[in-house]
Amino acid sequence: MECEYPSTNDIIATPIGGAAIGEVLYRASDLILDDRSTGGERFGREFAAFLVNPMRGLNRVITGDAWRKRITSGRTFGIPPISMELSLGGRLLTLWDNDEGTKAGVAAEINIEYGDKFSETTRAPYDYFSFMLELQGIKSQPLLSRVEIVGRLLSKEVVGRPDFNLNVGLYQHFDFFDSDTIREERNSSHLFPCAVPYKLGAPAAVGGGLMFRYKPLPMLNIEGFFHLNGVVLAGILTDFYRDYHRNYNWGSGFAIKAGTKIRLWDDRLSLNLADQFYKVYTWNGYDPNFDWSTTPDGKPVNVQGDSSNSTFNHFEASLSYRLWEKLYLSGGFDMYVRNTHYDGLAVDGSYNPRIESKQLGFHLMLMYKL
């Protein structure tokens, strides 16, 4: 229903990234629905499912399933194992090695694990997935700062002992990181390197991964993961290219993800460490002398941006302590590092510049586990 010529990245990102988001929302709405319910409960369930997955809600209204009572729940996938963490607190952001100031405000996170990550075999794609969404109320910063989806496509259990599990498989990944200028006066400058530390969107990525769980002692439980992905399409912030409402370069590359969670004393105390590394290569650079009148609608829809190669690394560490039953106090920090090497550019007397920006984030939150 868009009224402009589609670009190559639209054609790749929309169906692949949309499939990941769509499957997560469909399965989430499936947990809410119950065709056995009636009255106010039924309306509440149907309305909540509509908010989570509007297209499914609309389909149920059109077909009459939204009010049809059955003797079964009508859920497509039943009730698989599911865990959820809801966090609310404060976050402080500052740029490292660059005088761009510090900002603080409220922040919230939602973490969901759906299905059994150590199941012996995979029956269907997305029988297991993890979903992470991060929101923040920090002046000059985007409301939605991070979204991550990891969906299992197929897997095989390699080791299944009582004290050790190892599972290998193929996974689809959807990643989104967003930040903005801390010093608001930078908004008046269209070309100011490092004023915005990072932006990354990787809607189309797939690769192999392994997950393990080791319990050497009754008081100690260690879980971990490792993923090596091919990134079909990613967009990453550029410090220079500004055309057609774009402030990012897009291309392809690879990503490496690894992490571990250590739980002590029946999860009373837990330590979480994770690192993600992305390498993105622009396919073709921007030619400022190109005649755009020869393209559909006269718009540079298929320009990948600056000729460049970029890296983006995100390291996070957090420590959680159980205060009462399912309520935890969690504190930690994040480090974001973007490094972009531009080819064929001359900026302020520097040819082929390399721009590096680093941002640190610190958070303290109350977390409730469902």
Which of 24, 52, 79 terminates a domain? The answer is 79
In angstroms, the CA 250 to CA 282 distance is 6
Higher pLDDT, 7 or 264: 264
The domain that contains 336 carries what CATH number?
Answer: 2.40.230
Half-sphere exposure in the Cβ direction for 98 (13 Å, CA):
21
Which of the listed residues 54, 79, 104 is the one where a domain comes to its end? Answer: 79
Of the pLDDT bands very low, low, confident and very high (cuts 50, 70, 90), residue 282 is confident
Q: By the 8 A CB rule, do 225 and 257 touch?
A: yes
Q: Which of 202, 199, 196 is nearest to 184 (CA)?
A: 196
Which of 79, 112, 135 terminates a domain? The answer is 79
How crowded is the C-beta side of 338, counted as CA atoms within 13 Å?
A: 26
Report pLDDT for 279. Answer: 96
Same domain, 229 and 304: yes
Count Cβ atoms below 10 Å from residue 117 Cβ, excluding itself. Answer: 22
Nearest alpha-carbon partner for 127 in 63, 172, 165: 172
| Dist CA 44 CA 348 (whole Å) | 60
Structure tokens at 87: 């966090």
Q: What is the pTM of this model?
A: 0.88
Q: How far apart are CA 108 and CA 110, in angstroms?
A: 7
User: Following DSSP, what letter does each residue of 240-297 receive, concatenated?
Assistant: S--BTTB-EEEEEEEEEEEEEEEEETTTTEEEEEEEEEEEEEESS---TT--GGGSGG
Q: 44-58, 115-129, 196-210, 234-248: which range is least confident on average?
A: 234-248
In the block, tokens 């908004």 appear at: 187
Claim to verify: residue 68 and residue 96 sit in the same structural domain:
no
Q: With left for phi above 0 and alpha for psi between -120 and 50, is residue 10 left, alpha or beta?
A: alpha
pLDDT digits (tens, 9 = 90+) for 328-358: 999 999 999 999 998 877 666 667 788 888 8
Structural domain including 186 reads 80-369
Question: Are 297 and 242 part of one and the same domain?
Answer: yes
Assess whether 272 and 312 both reside in one domain. yes
123 and 220 part of one domain: yes
The answer on 53 and 169 residing in a single domain is: no
118, 255: one domain: yes
If one counts every other C-beta atom within 10 angstroms of the C-beta of residue 206, the result is 18
Mean predicted lDDT score pLDDT of the chain: 87
Task: Say if residue 186 is in the same domain as residue 271.
Answer: yes
Quick one: 18 and 159 in the same domain? no
Do 57 and 87 lie in one domain? The reply is no
Domain match, 101 and 70 both: no
Q: Taking 60 as the threshold, does the pLDDT of residue 321 lie above it? A: yes
Same domain assignment for residues 68 and 201: no
Residue 263: the pLDDT is 96
Ranges 5-9, 143-147, 182-186: which has the least confidence:
182-186
Number of domains in the chain: 2
